[in-house]
């Protein structure tokens, strides 16, 4: 019987060292191979020229280097790019790259679908399929780097990674924490912990655990200043209400991260966007290490919510600022390709570019 090969993508450094120890190799082999994978973007053992030929051929026998496959690529008029990666046949997950002047942010998924059922999010409509493995999570970053290429000075174009794609990262804790490790490891992607942001809807026990296992930047999807409304918008609030969530957040900010936490607040017309609600929100934030990021709601088919008018969003921000609370308005990017926040749905339903082998072609998928 042949044993399953170990996928070396997705092994954090300690596990990679253990893998080489079992082969009777020195721990520095782990660092060498991680540099090939994550720094050089090489996914072929035979190209790893500082490993002996015999080790390379042994690795090819017992290990593999496997990341998901890109099945659809879309490019927005604002240069945002979205890739759909194939998962188990009909399913897909989406990864979005958002270029800005001084940085390039990659928005990655942590699950196929989501269990949380937030009423304003299109991912919720597809239900939950499964957790992504660590290799599938960091594979998104690896693929984006490959697709985008490197800058002429050798720097990478993806400078920031946010877990704001499909899924709830803290509900896939077991695979997300090793991914955070690889993203921030000097021999992995080498990103500063401030450039890696985990976004959560508020799984409080897991948030408390996160503080013990890592210290990346944190974003929390708050969306409402009181429990009655948050229960409707983010149903996990019924289990972990705002007070409990905020206690865990302030602890994380003070004891773990040492900096401000971002609170995401989706602006829904007539639902959570009144000046009175802004004042309530300011009361929760005042004097605390929290800043608010207002996200104009991005509509999707079947939703009954509407985006707040610009004037209401600006007024809301003004109330927060006047109360001494830091607040910004998120610029909506990529909405012409359904790549904006909350629009990721993992459906192959567009006339778009599809990758077949190495060629990109224009086809109609499920034309309606
Ligand atoms: N489950 C995690 C990460 C995914 S969502 C979380 O809840 O934080 C990333 C952000 O996009 C969250 O703040 C989410 O609430 C927001 N979002 C979801 N649907 C949206 C929509 N339709 N328009 C704008 N933002 C949305």
Domain boundaries, the chain: 6-64, 69-365
User: CA–CA separation, 31 vs 203, rounded Å?
Assistant: 34
- Residue bearing the CA closest to ligand 1, atom 9: 164
The model's pLDDT over 37-85, given as tens digits with 9 standing for 90+, comes to 999 999 999 999 999 999 999 999 999 999 999 999 999 988 899 999 9
- Identify the three-state secondary structure at position 197: strand
CB-CB neighbours of 62 under 10 Å:
14
Instruction: List the CATH code of the domain at 6-64.
Output: 1.10.150.530
Does the pLDDT value for residue 340 go beyond 90? no
- Residue bearing the CA closest to ligand 1, atom 13: 221
Confidence at 4, pLDDT banded by 50, 70, 90:
confident
Spacing, Cα 165 to ligand 1 middle (Å): 8
- Residue bearing the CA closest to ligand 1, atom 21: 342
Lowest mean pLDDT among 66-80, 151-165, 176-190, 352-366: 352-366
Q: What is the predicted pLDDT for the residue at 101?
A: 86
Active-site choice (94, 136, 168, 264):
94
Q: What is the predicted pLDDT for the residue at 154?
A: 64
Q: What is the mean predicted confidence (pLDDT) over 132-139?
A: 97
Q: What is the mean predicted confidence (pLDDT) over 197-225?
A: 97
The model's pLDDT over 236-285, given as tens digits with 9 standing for 90+, comes to 999 999 999 999 999 999 999 999 999 999 999 999 999 999 999 999 99
- Kindly state the tokens that stand for 154: 């050798």
Q: What is the predicted pLDDT for the residue at 149?
A: 86
Lowest mean pLDDT among 66-75, 122-131, 187-196: 122-131
Is residue 114 annotated as a catalytic residue, yes or no?
no
Q: What is the DSSP letter of 307?
A: B
Confidence at 366, pLDDT banded by 50, 70, 90:
very low
Q: What is the predicted pLDDT for the residue at 127?
A: 87
How far from chain centre, in Å, is Cα 160? 10
Phi, psi of 108 (to 5 degrees): -115, 160
> What's the whole-number average pLDDT of the chain?
90
Return the ligand 1 atom nearest residue 166 CA. Answer: 4
- Residue bearing the CA closest to ligand 1, atom 22: 342
Q: What is the predicted pLDDT for the residue at 131?
A: 96
The more confidently predicted of residues 332 and 310 is 310
User: CA–CA separation, 230 vs 241, rounded Å?
Assistant: 8
Active-site choice (107, 114, 118, 341):
341
Residue 209 neighbours by CB under 8 Å, 6+ apart: 173
CB-CB contact of 350 with 82 (8 Å): no
- Residue bearing the CA closest to ligand 1, atom 26: 342
Could you tell me where the DSSP H helices lie in the chain? 13-22, 28-34, 53-62, 122-125, 134-148, 173-184, 204-213, 227-233, 242-251, 275-285, 310-322
Does the pLDDT value for residue 355 go beyond 60? no
User: CA–CA separation, 53 vs 291, rounded Å?
Assistant: 53
Q: In terms of Cα–Cα distance, which of 3, 8, 95 is closest to 56?
A: 8
Return the ligand 1 atom nearest residue 200 CA. Answer: 8
Q: What is the predicted pLDDT for the residue at 333?
A: 79
Q: Work out the burial of residue 155: count CB atoms within 10 Å of its CB; fewer than 13 is exposed, 13-18 middle, 19 or more buried.
A: exposed
Spacing, Cα 293 to ligand 1 middle (Å): 12
> What are residue 239's DSSP bridge partners?
none
Does the pLDDT value for residue 360 go beyond 70? no
Q: Does residue 263 line the site of ligand 1, with CB under 6 A? A: no
Q: What is the predicted pLDDT for the residue at 36?
A: 95
Confidence at 159, pLDDT banded by 50, 70, 90:
very high
CB-CB contact of 82 with 96 (8 Å): yes
Return the ligand 1 atom nearest residue 165 CA. Answer: 4
Confidence at 365, pLDDT banded by 50, 70, 90:
very low
CB-CB contact of 75 with 334 (8 Å): no
Q: What is the mean predicted confidence (pLDDT) over 294-299?
A: 94
Is residue 168 annotated as a catalytic residue, yes or no?
no
Q: Does residue 266 line the site of ligand 1, with CB under 6 A? A: yes
Q: Does residue 338 line the site of ligand 1, with CB under 6 A? A: no
Q: Does residue 199 line the site of ligand 1, with CB under 6 A? A: yes
Return the ligand 1 atom nearest residue 305 CA. Answer: 22
User: CA–CA separation, 306 vs 33, rounded Å?
Assistant: 49
- Kindly state the tokens that stand for 264: 């995401």
Residue 130, H or E segment: strand 128-131
Q: In terms of Cα–Cα distance, which of 264, 227, 239 is closest to 121?
A: 264
Q: What is the predicted pLDDT for the residue at 353?
A: 37
- Residue bearing the CA closest to ligand 1, atom 8: 200
Residue 132 neighbours by CB under 8 Å, 6+ apart: 87, 93, 109, 110, 111, 112, 167, 172, 175
Long-range contacts of 156-160 (CB under 8 A, 24+ apart): 156/189, 157/99, 157/104, 158/97, 158/104, 158/105, 158/106, 159/103, 159/104, 159/105, 159/191, 159/195, 160/103, 160/104, 160/105, 160/106, 160/191, 160/195, 160/196, 160/197
Q: What is the predicted pLDDT for the residue at 132?
A: 97
User: CA–CA separation, 368 vs 348, rounded Å?
Assistant: 12
Spacing, Cα 86 to ligand 1 middle (Å): 22
User: CA–CA separation, 294 vs 317, rounded Å?
Assistant: 8
Q: Does residue 94 line the site of ligand 1, with CB under 6 A? A: no
- Identify the three-state secondary structure at position 346: coil
Distance linking the first and last C-alpha atoms of the chain: 47
Mutate to test the pocket of ligand 1, among 164, 197, 233 (most ligand atoms within 8 A of CB): 164
Confidence at 90, pLDDT banded by 50, 70, 90:
confident
- Kindly state the tokens that stand for 165: 């794609």
Fold entry, domain 69-365: TIM Barrel (3.20.20)
Confidence at 2, pLDDT banded by 50, 70, 90:
low
Q: What is the mean predicted confidence (pLDDT) over 175-190?
A: 97
User: CA–CA separation, 193 vs 185, rounded Å?
Assistant: 9
Spacing, Cα 158 to ligand 1 middle (Å): 21
Percentage of residues of the chain with pLDDT beyond 90: 80
Percentage of residues of the chain with pLDDT beyond 70: 90
Q: Does residue 313 line the site of ligand 1, with CB under 6 A? A: no
Q: What is the CA radius of gyration of the chain?
A: 21
Q: What pTM did the predictor assign?
A: 0.91
Q: Does residue 344 line the site of ligand 1, with CB under 6 A? A: no
């Amino acid at each position: 019987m042949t044993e399953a090969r170990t996928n070396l993508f997705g092994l954090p450094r300690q596990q990679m060292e253990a893998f080489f120890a079992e082969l009777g190799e020195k721990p520095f082999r782990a660092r060498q191979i991680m540099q090939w994978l994550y720094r050089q973007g090489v996914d072929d053992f035979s190209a790893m020229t500082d490993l002996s030929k015999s080790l390379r051929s042994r690795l090819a026998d017992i290990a593999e280097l496997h990341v998901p496959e890109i099945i659809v690529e879309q490019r927005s008029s604002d240069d945002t790019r979205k890739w759909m990666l194939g998962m188990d046949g009909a399913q897909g997950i989406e990864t979005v790259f958002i270029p800005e002047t001084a940085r390039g942010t990659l928005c990655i998924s942590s699950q196929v679908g989501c269990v949380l059922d937030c009423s304003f999010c299109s991912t919720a409509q597809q239900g939950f399929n499964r957790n992504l493995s660590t290799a599938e999570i960091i594979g998104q970053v690896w693929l984006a780097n490959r697709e985008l290429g490197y800058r002429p000075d050798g720097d990478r174009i993806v400078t920031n990674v946010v877990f704001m794609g499909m899924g709830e990262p803290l509900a896939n804790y077991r695979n997300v924490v090793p991914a955070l490790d690889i993203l921030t490891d000097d021999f992995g992607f080498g990103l500063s912990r401030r450039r890696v942001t985990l976004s959560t809807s508020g799984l409080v026990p897991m948030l408390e655990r996160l503080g013990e296992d890592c210290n990346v930047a944190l974003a929390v999807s708050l969306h409402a200043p009181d429990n009655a409304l948050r229960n409707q918008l983010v149903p996990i609030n019924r289990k972990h209400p705002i007070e409990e969530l905020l206690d865990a957040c302030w602890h994380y900010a003070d004891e773990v991260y040492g900096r401000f936490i971002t609170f995401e607040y989706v602006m829904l017309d007539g639902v959570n966007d009144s000046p009175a609600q802004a004042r309530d929100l300011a009361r929760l934030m005042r004097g605390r290490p929290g800043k608010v990021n207002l996200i104009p709601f991005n509509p999707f088919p079947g939703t009954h919510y509407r985006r707040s008018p610009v004037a209401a969003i600006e007024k809301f921000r003004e109330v927060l600022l006047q109360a001494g609370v830091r607040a910004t308005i998120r610029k909506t990017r990529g909405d012409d390709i359904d790549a904006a926040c909350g629009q990721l749905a993992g459906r192959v339903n567009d006339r778009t570019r599809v990758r077949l082998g190495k060629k990109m072609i224009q086809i109609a998928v499920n034309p309606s």
